[in-house]
């Protein structure tokens, strides 16, 4: 007898709506059928019954028919400034439990500038920044070149290439114009952090009660209880061709994914790993993440590898053998199926369904 009826909710690349003139990387963050099959297999290994449902406009009615016990949600969404929140919002209206972060956390973290405002409020280190909603906005004099230009609400390196690093006002205007035209959303311009690319995955939930306000006192204990940190992964940027410009680009994440060059665990001092884990936990906490997340950092080579938080991914990719989180789990001896079930177990515990 099946233990639970789980609806696996995702947006498949092959089902994505197509609009003429769309940039080629527009749907790069959606999932492939092989990832969905691997997740479904993982859940079935625990005797659960699994039904895949596409997270599109038909989902609400389908959920009312299927009435799953819980959903394993990895929907990235299609449209709008809070697209990752659409499916969780439906699930809350229908009072169906689901894995991972909820509506507010998914809306905030999809928007990188909004996430950075939350981080800055808590004195968590994130590169200085400005957003551009129009091409003619004056550059904040506090920002000095080189700068990094990226879309505000994308993932999988969408819009990110060697040209994202800009060295003067002309390059900045050119890149901001292109990003505004291609993605029709505010453009994030950040201080360029020259240094190593590190990402930290974590599974779990902080043990309550946990306030969203971090203590001002630097000597306050670092709250991390309930979280399991996976070994940090470093993208070996030096091994990619000059075309990528020392940046973890969309091309590197998609076309060149099978040549992914990385170290895991990243060669870092134990003290730095502890600091990164704490920063990842603090980011998870103040943005309200649940069950799983991956926090991306750059280490500033000009300042003793000082870590800067670039973003938090509450729906990190789960492609076997490809996604950073899966590679980190593997380095800790955790296979894909076990990772998927760890995420499910966290949600079941939260809902008192274990």
Ligand X SMILES: Nc1ncnc2c1ncn2[C@@H]1O[C@H](COP(=O)(O)OP(=O)(O)OP(=O)(O)O)[C@@H](O)[C@H]1O
Exposed e or buried b for every residue in 122-146, given b needs 16+ CB within 10 A? bebebbebbbbeeeeeebeeebeee
Exposed e or buried b for every residue in 53-73, given b needs 16+ CB within 10 A? bbbbeebeebbeeeebbbbbb
Only segment of 10-18, 280-288, 305-313, 346-354 that touches ligand X (CB under 6 A): 305-313
Is 96 or 324 the residue whose CB approaches ligand X more closely? 324
- At closest approach, how far in Å is the CB of 66 from ligand X? 30
193 contributes a contact to ligand X by CB under 6 A:
yes
* Pairing label, strands 5-10, 70-73: parallel
Angle, alpha carbons 55-58-64 (nearest 5°): 95
Which of 348, 351, 333 is closest to 48 using CA atoms?
348
- At closest approach, how far in Å is the CB of 231 from Mg ion? 17
Of 296, 300, 328, 346, the one binding ligand X (CB under 6 A) is: 296
127 contributes a contact to ligand X by CB under 6 A:
yes
Q: Which of residues 306-335 bind ligand X (CB under 6 A)?
A: 310-311, 313
> Contact at 8 Å (CB) between 160 and 177?
no
The footprint of Mg ion on this chain (CB under 5 A) covers a number of residues equal to 1
* Pairing label, strands 291-300, 197-204: antiparallel
Residue 27 tokens, joined: 């749907």
186 contributes a contact to ligand X by CB under 6 A:
no
What are the E-state strand segments in the chain? 5-10, 49-54, 70-73, 129-132, 147-151, 165-166, 187-191, 197-204, 227-229, 233-235, 262-263, 291-300, 306-313
Specify the 3-state DSSP secondary structure of 57: coil
Only segment of 5-13, 186-194, 218-226, 346-354 that touches ligand X (CB under 6 A): 186-194
DSSP codes of every residue in 120-161: HHTT-----EEEESSTTPPPPTT--SSEEEEESS--TTTT-S
x/- contact string, 293-312, with Mg ion (CB under 5 A)? ---x----------------
Only segment of 47-55, 139-147, 255-263, 288-296 that touches Mg ion (CB under 5 A): 288-296
- At closest approach, how far in Å is the CB of 113 from ligand X? 11
Is 48 or 294 the residue whose CB approaches ligand X more closely? 294
In the list Mg ion, ligand X, none, the entry touching 233 (Cβ below 5 to 8 angstroms by class) is none
Distance of CA 77 to the CA centre of its chain: 14
Spatial distance between the Cα atoms of 294 and 312, rounded to a whole number of angstroms: 6
Of 84, 111, 154, 346, the one binding ligand X (CB under 6 A) is: 154
- At closest approach, how far in Å is the CB of 247 from ligand X? 4
- At closest approach, how far in Å is the CB of 126 from ligand X? 9
Spatial distance between the Cα atoms of 84 and 73, rounded to a whole number of angstroms: 10
Is 135 or 257 the residue whose CB approaches Mg ion more closely? 257
156 contributes a contact to ligand X by CB under 6 A:
yes
In the list ligand X, Mg ion, none, the entry touching 192 (Cβ below 5 to 8 angstroms by class) is ligand X
- At closest approach, how far in Å is the CB of 180 from Mg ion? 21
> Of all residues in this chain, which one has the CB nearest to ligand X in the complex?
155
Is 244 or 296 the residue whose CB approaches Mg ion more closely? 296
Residues that bind Mg ion (CB under 5 A): 296
Residues that bind ligand X (CB under 6 A): 127, 148, 150, 154-158, 160, 190, 192-193, 197, 247-248, 253, 296, 298, 310-311, 313
């Amino acid at each position: 007898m099946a233990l639970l009826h789980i609806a696996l909710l995702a947006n498949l690349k092959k089902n994505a709506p197509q609009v003429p003139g769309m940039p080629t990387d527009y749907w790069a963050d959606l999932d492939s059928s092989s990832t969905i099959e691997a997740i479904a297999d993982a859940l079935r290994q625990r005797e659960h019954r699994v039904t895949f449902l596409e997270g599109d406009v038909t989902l609400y009615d389908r959920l009312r028919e299927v009435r799953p016990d819980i959903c394993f949600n990895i929907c990235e969404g299609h449209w709008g400034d809070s697209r990752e929140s659409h499916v969780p919002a439906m699930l809350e209206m229908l009072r169906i439990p689901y894995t991972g972060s909820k509506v507010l956390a998914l809306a905030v973290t999809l928007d990188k500038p909004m996430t950075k405002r939350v981080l800055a409020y808590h004195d968590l280190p994130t590169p200085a920044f400005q957003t551009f909603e129009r091409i003619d906005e004056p550059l904040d004099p506090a920002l000095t070149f080189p700068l990094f230009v990226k879309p505000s609400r994308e993932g999988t390196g969408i819009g990110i290439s060697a040209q994202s690093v800009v060295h003067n006002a002309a390059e900045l205007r050119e890149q901001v114009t292109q990003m505004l035209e291609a993605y029709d959303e505010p453009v994030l311009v950040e201080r360029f952090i020259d240094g190593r690319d590190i990402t930290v995955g974590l599974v779990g939930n902080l043990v309550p009660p946990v306030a969203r306000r971090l203590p001002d006192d630097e000597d306050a204990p670092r709250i991390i209880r309930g979280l399991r940190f996976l070994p940090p992964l470093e993208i070996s940027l030096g091994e990619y061709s000059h075309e990528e410009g020392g940046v973890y680009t969309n091309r590197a994440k998609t076309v060149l994914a099978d040549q992914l060059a990385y170290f895991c665990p990243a060669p870092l001092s134990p003290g730095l790993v502890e600091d990164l884990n704490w920063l990842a936990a603090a980011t998870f906490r103040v943005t309200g993440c649940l069950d799983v997340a991956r926090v991306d950092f750059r280490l500033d080579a000009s300042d003793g590898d000082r870590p800067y938080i670039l973003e938090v991914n509450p729906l990190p990719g789960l492609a076997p053998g490809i996604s950073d989180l899966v590679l980190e789990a593997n380095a800790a001896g955790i296979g894909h199926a076990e990772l998927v079930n760890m995420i499910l177990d966290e949600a079941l515990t939260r809902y008192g369904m274990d």
